[in-house]
Structure 1
Amino acid sequence: MEASLYTETGVFIAFEGGEGSGKSTQARLLAAWLEEHGHAVVLTREPGGTAVGQRLRDIVLDPATGDLSPRAEALMYIADKAEHVDHVVLPALAEGKVVITDRYVDSTLAYQGAGRALRAVELEPIARWATSGLRPHLTVVLDIDPVLGLKRAGAPDRIEREPLDFHRRVREHFVELAAADPGHYAVVAADQDPQDIHAAIQQAIAPWLVQVSA
């Protein structure tokens, strides 16, 4: 496995969390706030941040896909990450931008590792290799009870249709990842008012913004 890399140019922020946690909303709010304060921002997502990634997203999330081998599913997500990092994330960081991604490696470890009951310890080296060892400066985990999150999610996609125990394992793994590296994680309760969540995220990201010029 390649050594972990925190780039010296730009700032890399990842949003993680279970279904219905509000990641996409909070990522958009953060991007808008940063742009208002003069930062160049790239807002992206996994899967789907590239043309190839969008095709992979259609496969892994469409209920019509049906059952997939858990390993095949994991490799599709990892392939998306490789394409995304090479063509979107690293180029933007090299230009000194703030990159905000809705999901990153931790989602594969939580969903395909813990959720699918594959071994995260086996998945992680593959995912880190595919992403050149690149790690976010800060990962924001929006923590929510899966019962509430799934109610918020609306029409369920292929992953959202998994049993409640699956989503509970996912949540537990996100929390475990954050606890293991508190210097690079912020866990925020996602059952608060969206503006209160946004304020907490602003506070968490502030120390990292000294790395980019406003």
Structure 2
Amino acid sequence: MQRGLFITFEGGEGAGKSSQIRILADTLRARGYDVLVTREPGGSPGAEAIRHVLLSGAAEPFGPAMEAILFAAARSDHVEQVIRPALESGTMVLCDRFMDSSRVYQGVTGGLDPAFMAALERVTVNEMIPNLTLILDIDPVEGLDRANARRGEGQADRYEKETLDIHRRRRDAFRDIARSDPERCKVIDASESEEEVAATVAGHVADLLEQYEMVAAEE
């Protein structure tokens, strides 16, 4: 059985990742693919428990290194219990955030040592590198406005509440990742309408699917 494709969505707060994942999942299912939609932190029972600790801010007093370790524990469980089995069964996996978010949130704006972050990533990702990463790029002011509107009267989570300067640094960090790995990472202007963003997403995924289906035809 041909292995499925692993597509991750990254970007700052309010970039519209969840909506674009839903649209892409519907499109792929309409084409006959089995699709799994998942998220980080979370995606497996163990990782979802850690998600609550992280997003509530309960781990914040222990510092970014502890948060990075908790993210790593959640990711390891998610990869081995959910993502890897799904891909091996031929399922297309769409994930809201993955390793690049840790590189940005804990590594760049958390100020953690790059060697420490690389070691955590190597162990927890365990060669499960995405086939395609779509970075939804938006000005942090607009993104936070969207996030606030979506949340309504609810409380901002651990990361939404941080300063505008930090959100801008994260945007720059995601762009840097894309520049360093242009084959895997595609930057998409998330300030456009939902339909326009979805069309751009579909175009990038179509290129990947063309290669995927050519391999399937040759086997």
Aligned to 1:189: 189
Cα RMSD (Å) of the superposition? 1.7
Q: Tell me the amino acid that sits aligned with residue 186 of structure 1.
A: K
Aligned to 2:92: 98
| Mapped pair 1:167 → 2:161 | no
SS at match of 1:183: coil
The answer on whether the counterparts of 1:20 and 1:151 sit within 8 Å (CA) in structure 2 is yes
Aligned to 1:110: 104
Work out the CA distance in 1 between the residues paired with 2:165 and 2:50: 25
Residue 119 of structure 1, CA deviation = 2.9
Aligned residues: 207
Residue 54 of structure 1, CA deviation = 1.0
The answer on whether the counterparts of 2:59 and 2:66 sit within 8 Å (CA) in structure 1 is no
Uncovered stretches (5+) of structure 1, i.e. residues with no partner:
1-7
SS at match of 2:61: coil
Listed one character per residue, the Cα deviations across residues 42-79 of structure 1 (whole Å, up to 9, x for unaligned) are 10000110111111110111146553311000111111
Task: Decide which moves more: 112-121 or 169-178.
Answer: 112-121
Residue 121 of structure 1, CA deviation = 4.2
Instruction: Could you list the structure 1 runs, at least 4 aligned residues long, displaced by more than 6 angstroms after superposition.
Output: none
Residue 140 of structure 1, CA deviation = 0.2
Q: Tell me the amino acid that sits aligned with residue 98 of structure 1.
A: M
Highest RCO, 1 vs 2 (Cα 8 Å, sep ≥ 6): 1
Work out the CA distance in 1 between the residues paired with 2:7 and 2:43: 15
The structure whose Rg is larger is 2
Identity rate, percent: 40
Work out the CA distance in 2 between the residues paired with 1:139 and 1:82: 19
Aligned to 2:198: 198
Q: Tell me the amino acid that sits aligned with residue 53 of structure 2.
A: I
Aligned to 1:74: 68
Residues 65 and 126 of structure 1, relative CA distance in 2, 3 Å threshold: closer
Work out the CA distance in 1 between the residues paired with 2:65 and 2:121: 12
Listed one character per residue, the Cα deviations across residues 115-142 of structure 1 (whole Å, up to 9, x for unaligned) are 1121334302311211112110000000
